[in-house]
Amino acid sequence: MANVILKNLTKKFKEVTAVDNVNIEIKDKEFAVLVGPSGCGKTTTLRAIAGLEEATSGEIYIGDKLVNDVQPKDRDIAMVFQNYALYPHMDVYNNMAFGLKLRKFPREEIDQRVQDAAEILGIENLLKRKPKQLSGGQRQRVAVGRAIVRKPKVFLFDEPLSNLDAKLRVAMRAEISKLHRRLEATIIYVTHDQVEAMTMADRMFIMNDGLLMQSGAPLEVYKKPENKFVAGFIGSPAMNFIDSKVTKENGDYFIDTESFKVKIPQAFYSKIADYAGKEVIFGIRPEDLHDKQFFSNATTFNTIKTKVDVIEPLGAEIIIYLNCGKHSVIGKMESRTQVEVEQDMEVVLDMEKTHIFDPETLLVIV
């Protein structure tokens, strides 16, 4: 198996810079997820690794070997495409065997590998069917099977689950994670779905506009976003952002949003001191807003007065849209919270979990 390194990778299509000086190191056997909104350069990055796009500049290493000038077929990678790209006239067996036949593998070896892959994926009983006789999930398995039989050093997956319905997507997500453990392979997986990325990745690489915005283990990125883009992209509902000002009173620092004023925890003072009197962007996740009744550390410095605008009960939790004067915020609270639309509600902000951003650079301050 192999590590994959991208050094200053840039890919331009005429005036469009699809991938902009990206540096990524993916470890051997790692499940790496490239995630970001549509058009951010995920597929282009993957295709450059596969050799289907030539890098405009920068270097690509697979297993410590520079592969920029290596043909796709010699890169020892297998790619699973979003649309599966199965051959409609071939049955499942031959779809999986095709790449090995092209490479002139002996017949017994091909047979063994196809049987093994079919068993891993639980599709032994489908080998005689044509793709059109399969469900979406089954087709997806065949596409993965076609990659597995190659025994590549690196698997590349481009949004393989996006054609499946929500329930099947969740099931296949778990299956691909299991498959990763079983194959002990390096996997680079592309998705625009942050939940998919969070649940599957050993490490995720978040892209926007061709740029790598941040990388790290999912919870690390969730807890410590380095910039406003990542803070807003990871987490659902998205983090609340409010343009605010930092004020200093009697040695203490506050966030003043005009709708409410809350105290910044002392642990953040050294980092926030330079911003006294200046504008910042105050960020807090919906799950860090709490019903005052159920939060033990409510004080006048972290509690805000709101009015309930909209309620979305989800069973295990409840999403509440709150109006707090000039601004609106979204809270995700426990289902035991009982509120009605138009009702006044006191909400506690867990200020230890707040994130504050510089409005110029959009980088995190605390």
Point out which residues bind ligand ATP (CB under 6 A): 13, 16, 18, 36, 38-44, 192
Min dist. Cβ of residue 166 to ligand ATP (A): 18
- Determine, following the binding rule CB under 5 A, whether residue 45 of this chain makes contact with Mg ion: no
Kindly tell me which of 2 and 34 has the beta carbon lying closer to ligand ATP.
34
CB 212 within 8 A of CB 342: no
Specify the stretch interacting with Mg ion by CB under 5 A; choose among 6-14, 41-49, 253-261, 294-302: 41-49
Kindly tell me which of 77 and 231 has the beta carbon lying closer to Mg ion.
77
Kindly tell me which of 196 and 287 has the beta carbon lying closer to ligand ATP.
196
Min dist. Cβ of residue 4 to ligand ATP (A): 17
User: Which partner, ligand ATP, Mg ion, none, binds residue 16 by CB below 5 to 8 Å per kind?
Assistant: ligand ATP
Residue nearest to Mg ion (CB): 43
CB 187 within 8 A of CB 180: yes
Each as own residue / partner, the long-range contacts of residues 270-278 (CB below 8 Å, 24 or more positions apart, any chain) are 271/365, 271/366, 272/246, 272/356, 272/365, 272/366, 275/246, 275/356, 275/358, 275/365, 276/246, 276/247, 276/248, 277/245, 277/246, 277/247, 277/248, 278/245, 278/246
Kindly tell me which of 205 and 282 has the beta carbon lying closer to ligand ATP.
205
User: Which partner, Mg ion, ligand ATP, none, binds residue 250 by CB below 5 to 8 Å per kind?
Assistant: none
Min dist. Cβ of residue 142 to ligand ATP (A): 22
- Determine, following the binding rule CB under 5 A, whether residue 244 of this chain makes contact with Mg ion: no
Min dist. Cβ of residue 10 to Mg ion (A): 18
Strands 252-256 and 317-323: unpaired
Kindly tell me which of 18 and 330 has the beta carbon lying closer to Mg ion.
18
Min dist. Cβ of residue 81 to ligand ATP (A): 11
User: Which partner, Mg ion, ligand ATP, none, binds residue 225 by CB below 5 to 8 Å per kind?
Assistant: none
Contacting residues for 60 by C-beta, under 8 A, at least 6 apart:
4, 5, 6, 7, 9, 48, 49, 66, 67, 68
User: What is the number of alpha carbons within 13 Å of residue 147 lying toward its C-beta?
Assistant: 29
Which amino acid makes up residue 212?
L
End-to-end CA separation in angstroms for the chain: 39
- Determine, following the binding rule CB under 5 A, whether residue 43 of this chain makes contact with Mg ion: yes
Min dist. Cβ of residue 143 to Mg ion (A): 16
Q: Which two tokens stand for residue 237?
A: 């509902």
**To which H or E segment does residue 145 belong?**
helix 136-148
Kindly tell me which of 233 and 282 has the beta carbon lying closer to ligand ATP.
233
CB 332 within 8 A of CB 237: yes
Kindly tell me which of 39 and 265 has the beta carbon lying closer to ligand ATP.
39
DSSP classification of residue 352: G
Specify the stretch interacting with Mg ion by CB under 5 A; choose among 37-45, 51-59, 98-106, 228-236: 37-45
CB atoms within 10 A of CB 286: 21
DSSP classification of residue 93: H
Q: Summarize as ranges the residues that interact with Mg ion (CB under 5 A).
A: 43
